[in-house]
């Protein structure tokens, strides 16, 4: 007796379901534990073999990108709306506040956000837009005399590191703590509070992706 092979359409449907399950599982695990989750754990929690996962996502970076597609789009939207704001200081603050609020409830988000900057993962137009958009917001706020002139791009990494260290018993508490921390930090970024006789130490040579994005499996 011979057994007929499943129709091609059924195989395509099963493959699509496996892929969707892998992405959804990865999204949940990255949010709960950060990006140190292994591909083996993602496969096990998804109910698929590791070989199946690698057929869909040959590298961990590929899975990270897919899992955070919605967050990438939201980041782009946040920057786009900020660039349309007439007040440069409010525009800068809105991006920092929104990104930090997103990070507070998703442990993997800092890595996803930093991945939009050069050399983190392969760039596309959206990531280039985010990169140049944030630089423009910083420069506008400085030109308007609102953002302290010694603010450096690496200070964004420093801010995200501080915000990412928040621990709380619930997402609501984490967001509340993040909101207060960010308010303190934004207050310190104001140009009108700079004391020229008390300069800051030089910017730290931070590269946040090396702290939150472990090498792929």
pLDDT higher at 9 or 73:
73
pLDDT for residue 74 is more than 50: yes
pTM: 0.75
Cα 112 to Cα 19: distance, rounded to the nearest angstrom: 20
User: Which residues have CB under 8 Å from 43's CB, separation 6+?
Assistant: 22, 49, 50, 52, 53
- Domains (ranges, CATH) in the chain? 8-66 (1.10.10.60), 68-212 (1.10.357)
pLDDT digits (tens, 9 = 90+) for 130-185: 778 989 999 999 999 999 999 998 888 888 888 888 888 888 898 999 999 999 99
**Average pLDDT of span 199-215:** 63
Q: How many CA atoms lie within 13 A of 104 on its CB side?
A: 24
pLDDT for residue 11 is more than 80: no
Reported confidence tier of residue 118, pLDDT bands at 50, 70, 90 = very low
């Amino acid at each position: 007796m011979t057994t007929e092979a499943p129709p091609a359409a059924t195989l395509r449907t099963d493959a699509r379901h496996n892929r969707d399950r892998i992405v959804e599982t990865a999204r949940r695990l990255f949010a709960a534990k950060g990006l140190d989750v292994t591909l083996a754990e993602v496969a096990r929690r998804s109910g698929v073999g590791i070989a199946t996962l690698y057929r869909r996502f040959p590298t961990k970076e590929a899975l990270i990108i897919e899992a955070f597609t919605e967050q990438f789009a939201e980041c782009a939207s946040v920057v786009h709306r900020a660039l349309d704001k007439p007040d440069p200081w409010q525009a800068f603050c809105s991006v920092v506040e929104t990104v930090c609020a997103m990070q507070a409830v998703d442990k993997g988000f800092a890595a996803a956000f930093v991945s939009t900057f050069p050399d983190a993962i392969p760039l596309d137009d959206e990531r280039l837009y985010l990169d140049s958009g944030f630089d423009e917001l910083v420069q506008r706020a400085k030109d308007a005399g609102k953002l302290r002139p010694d603010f450096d791009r690496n200070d964004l990494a420093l801010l995200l590191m501080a915000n990412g260290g928040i621990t709380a018993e619930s997402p609501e508490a984490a967001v509340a703590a993040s909101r207060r921390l960010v308010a303190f930090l934004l207050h310190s970024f104001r140009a009108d509070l700079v004391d020229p006789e008390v300069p800051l130490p030089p910017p730290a040579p931070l590269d946040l992706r090396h702290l939150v994005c472990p090498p792929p499996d």
